[in-house]
Amino acid sequence: HQTDGMRVGEGILQAARTFVQADLAEHADGHDWSHIERVTALGVEIAHRMGADPFIVELAALLHDVPDEKLNTSLEAGMAKLHAWLDTQPLEASTRDTVVSIISTISYAGGQRPEVFSLEAQVVQDADRLDALGAIGIARAFSFGGSRGRQMYDPTLPPREQMTREEYRNGRSTTINHFYEKLFKLKDLMNTSYGKELAEERHAYMVQFVEQFKREWEGTDKDNI
Ligand code: ADP
Ligand code: NI
């Protein structure tokens, strides 16, 4: 029965919101509830435009950071927590498997291409990546960098290719470096056409930001006044 299904679906989404909000409440390094809200809203919007299943996208987006390695003792522990919560919900086995597969796909670091990369997984990944771009992406990067004790910028730093793994791990990288290492690459990794359009705009804004940042750092911004 259609309406029953929708009512059950809304109940599951509401339960997911409550669960995730409580789970993430204590984190202030960019992995906060507002990130989840933005990724969920954007995911649902992209889902509608791209013809993806909005319920699957919304549920996966709400839960996508639950198993994050940085928020758990390990990825495995995080996945166990996710499974334990899903066990409490009246979900069809196939829906549950799809949601778990989306979340594990986008949780593993590095642009790994899994065999099953559904449209819904592509949409959630795009929404998550879009939140690392633009003005909010900039704010999140500095917030994360600060929480790890990273410098904002160091023009004397060698490029990452010339650093040893140890040097890199020991915090010799900076938040501005993170733009080159990851953020500027994201626009070319978008899966959906709508996601790519939005990413281009946010990317352009970040490029401008970094240019202006360096002008101010070097003191050359006042030259044309
Ligand atoms: P997400 O939760 O969106 O998948 P991550 O867990 O990779 O993203 O990172 C969360 C936020 O912190 C992102 O906005 C990302 O750009 C930022 N971030 C991750 N690593 C670094 C870093 N080394 N320096 C600065 N910011 C970072
Ligand atoms: Ni995320």
Query: Ligand 1 in contact with 144 (CB < 6 A)?
Result: yes
Global ipTM: 0.96
Domain membership flag for residue 121 = no
Output the CA 93–ligand 1 centroid distance in Å.
32
Nearest CA to ligand 1 atom 18: 141
Burial class (CB in 10 A: 0-12, 13-18, 19+), 180: middle
pLDDT at 154: 92
Q: Distance between CA atoms of 224 and 12, rounded to whole angstroms?
A: 57
Contact partners, residue 148, CB within 8 Å, separation at least 6: 171
Say if ligand 1 is within 6 A of residue 140 CB. Answer: yes
Report pLDDT for 194: 96
Instruction: Please check whether residue 119 lies inside any domain of the structure.
Output: no
- Residue 113 pLDDT exceeds 90: no
Considering the entire predicted model, what is its pTM? 0.90
Query: What is the CA(36)–ligand 1 centre distance, in A?
Result: 14
56: in domain: yes
Q: Using the predicted structure, report yes or no on whether residue 110 has a pLDDT greater than 60.
A: no
The answer on 143 and 104 residing in a single domain is no
- Residue with CA closest to ligand 1 atom 17: 141
Q: Is residue 36 part of a domain?
A: yes
Q: Which of 117, 104, 183, 49 is nearest to 173 (CA)?
A: 183
- Position 114 pLDDT exceeds 60: no
Evaluated on CA atoms 80, 8, 131, 115, the torsion sign reads: positive
Whether 104 and 142 share a structural domain: no
In a domain, residue 160? The reply is yes
Residue-wise pLDDT for 130-171, tens only, equals 999 999 999 999 999 998 899 999 988 876 767 777 777 666
Residue 213 lies in a domain: yes
Q: Are residues 101 and 183 in the same domain?
A: no
pLDDT of residue 107: 67
pLDDT category at 30 given cuts 50, 70, 90 is very low
Identify the nearest ligand to the CA of 133 by its number: 1
**Count of the separate structural domains present in the chain:** 2
Q: Are residues 7 and 95 in the same domain?
A: yes
For residues 142 and 82, membership in a common domain is answered with no
Mean pLDDT of 51-71: 94
**Position in ligand 1 atom list of the atom nearest CA 65:** 2
State the residue range of the domain holding 176: 132-225
> Is the C-alpha dihedral spanning 67, 70, 76, 77 positive or negative?
negative
**Is 124 a domain residue?**
no
CATH of the domain at 58: 1.10.472.50
Kindly state whether residue 91 falls inside one of the protein's structural domains. yes
Same domain? For 105 and 64 the reply is yes
146, 98: one domain: no
pLDDT digits (tens, 9 = 90+) for 64-107: 999 988 888 988 899 999 999 999 999 999 999 999 999 998 86
For residue 200, the domain's CATH number is 1.20.58.1910
Q: What is the mean pLDDT of the chain?
A: 89
Q: Are residues 153 and 86 in the same domain?
A: no
Nearest atom (ligand 1) to Cα of 174: 24
| Centroid of ligand 1 to alpha carbon of 197 (angstroms) | 21
Q: What is the pLDDT of residue 31?
A: 60
